[in-house]
């Protein structure tokens, strides 16, 4: 079973996600922005979701983590929870 580890920042609006993405592109720290802005409980851990299996997250999130490039920030990705910026740390 495939597993992965990822960081994410979850916000309510696409505009906020895009604003944070711009800050990340300018070198801002992902964990610091997650702690300040993410509405997910993982924000307290810098957006760290730990290790999880394929299928544990909603499909749009899973597709990014298990199919897109690792160590690159992807997003905004819309799910029923809001808009995510996702950085996959590894997958096995």
Contacts of 48 (CB under 8 A, 6+ apart): 5, 7, 31, 42
Question: Which of 33, 45, 32, 37 lies closest to 6, judged by CA?
Answer: 45
What pLDDT, in 10s, does the model give residues 14-23? 999 999 999 9
Strand partners, 84: 10, 77
How far, in Å, CA of 3 to CA of 84, rounded?
19
Number of domains observed in the structure of the chain? 1
pLDDT, residue 46, reads 98
Q: What is the CATH number of the domain that holds 80?
A: 3.10.50.40
Mark 32-59 as b/e (b = at least 16 C-beta within 10 Å). Answer: ebbbebbebebbeebbbbeebeeeebee
Q: Which domain holds residue 26?
A: 3-91
Q: What is the per-residue pLDDT across 36-53, written as a single tens digit (0 to 9) for each?
A: 999 999 999 999 999 999
pLDDT average, residue stretch 52-73:
97
Given pLDDT bands bounded at 50, 70 and 90, which one contains residue 1? confident
Query: For residues 11 and 86, what is the distance between their CA atoms, to the nearest angstrom?
Result: 12
């Amino acid at each position: 079973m495939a597993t992965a580890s990822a960081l994410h920042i979850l916000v309510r609006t696409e505009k906020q996600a895009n604003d944070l993405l711009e800050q990340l592109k300018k070198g801002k720290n992902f964990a610091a922005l997650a702690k300040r802005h993410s509405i997910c409980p993982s924000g307290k851990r810098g957006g760290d979701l730990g290790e999880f299996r394929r299928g544990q997250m909603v499909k749009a999130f899973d597709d990014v983590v298990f199919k897109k490039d690792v160590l690159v920030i992807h997003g905004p990705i819309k799910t029923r929870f809001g808009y995510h910026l996702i950085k996959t740390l590894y997958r096995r």
